[in-house]
Amino acid sequence: MLRHSKVSPLLSLPGAVPAEAPDEGVAAHYGDLFREQRALADGSGFVDLSHRAVVTVTGPERLSWLHLLLTQHVSDLAPGVATEALILSAHGHVEHALYLVDDGETTWLHAEPGTQEALIAYLESMKFFYRVEAADRTDEFAVVYLPAGSIAEVPERTVVRETAYGRELFLPRGELEPFAAAHGPAIGVLALEALRVEAHRPRLGMETDHRTIPHELGWIGTAVHLQKGCYRGQETVARVQNLGKPPRRLVFLHLDGSEVHLPPHGTPVRLAADGEEGRQLGFITTSARHHELGPIALALVKRNVPVDAELSAAGTAAAQEVVVEP
């Protein structure tokens, strides 16, 4: 039974295979993973992300208020401009990753499935005297992803978050099935995850753990603005930025294609020369099968692991590419 997540009506489409955590409630694929990946890469189809949390912030002071809480500079965010931001703990550890757009009256954001309750609780605790209202809109709106290059027509009055990677629609839930009928083929989240891994893009809960700081994952610049004012956790961000020594770094791995099984999240990463008895240097965060690259993965390893070192994960050879410089 799902908790804190929505079950999509599109799971009734032919061939739909339900996704596993953390993407329960939507389809992993619809019968042909590589065909779905190629369609996305060509700008076709859409991905049902209706399990993701949707939160809105309204009120005349919403942007100035969010600016105080987030790692991103949003006080003068123009309508229709997409951005992303983090909420950090007092020690600078990543607690929430948010994907935002403002429509001139409301700030819309989506976040990881099931995180809306904790997110709303934090926002409510920080309201003080500001004229703002934060609301969980997950029951009303579904996130739908259209790949870059898609020519699909967006329904009128739909809030759109447009990025270099594609468009994310905040679609009323009642329009999800009609949209699917008009804009297929439906594509599962595994195809989108494979392209995310290829693009080296971190995801909360996959690339993060309880002690992750933004520098380790390359979120500096995309989700963290280094010249803005104070926010919770800023001291850690500034200290690591000045010293240039985050304890870990994100790497991209080309996995040995002869292996049948992908190493799951949390699989220890070691030096290949040391074998399975060697010291653990990190762990697999996300692994995927890519339609062109074959088996690939992201991993978080210690900063001092040599960038040319041959690694292994559960006996699978892994050649690394640098994502975050050591």
Binding residues for substrate: 168
Encoded tokens for 111:
């976040």
| 3-state SS class at 323 | coil
Q: What does the DSSP 8-state code read for residue 19? A: P
Q: What is the DSSP string of 119-159?
A: HHHHHHHT-TT---EEEE-TTTEEEEEEETT--PPPPTT-E
Residues at the annotated binding site?
A: 168
- Whether the Cβ atoms of residue 30 and residue 187 lie closer than 8 Å to each other: yes
Handedness of CA 278, 282, 286, 292 (dihedral sign): negative
Q: What does the DSSP 8-state code read for residue 175? A: G
For residue 220, the tally of other CB atoms under 10 A from its CB is 19
Nearest to 79 by CA among 62, 101, 100: 101
The C-alpha R_g of the chain, in whole angstroms, comes to 20
Tell which phi-psi region holds residue 71, choosing left (phi > 0), alpha (psi between -120 and 50) or beta. Answer: alpha
Please report, in angstroms and rounded to a whole number, the separation of the first and last CA atoms in the chain.
42
Facing residues of 57 across strands?
107, 134
CA distance 219 to 207: 11
- Tokens 């991103």: give the residue: 72
Q: What is the DSSP string of 238-268?
A: HHHHHHT--SEEEEEEEE-TT-SSPPPTT-E
Of all residues in the chain, what percent are helix, strand and coil, respectively (each to 5)?
20, 30, 45
Encoded tokens for 182:
């008009």
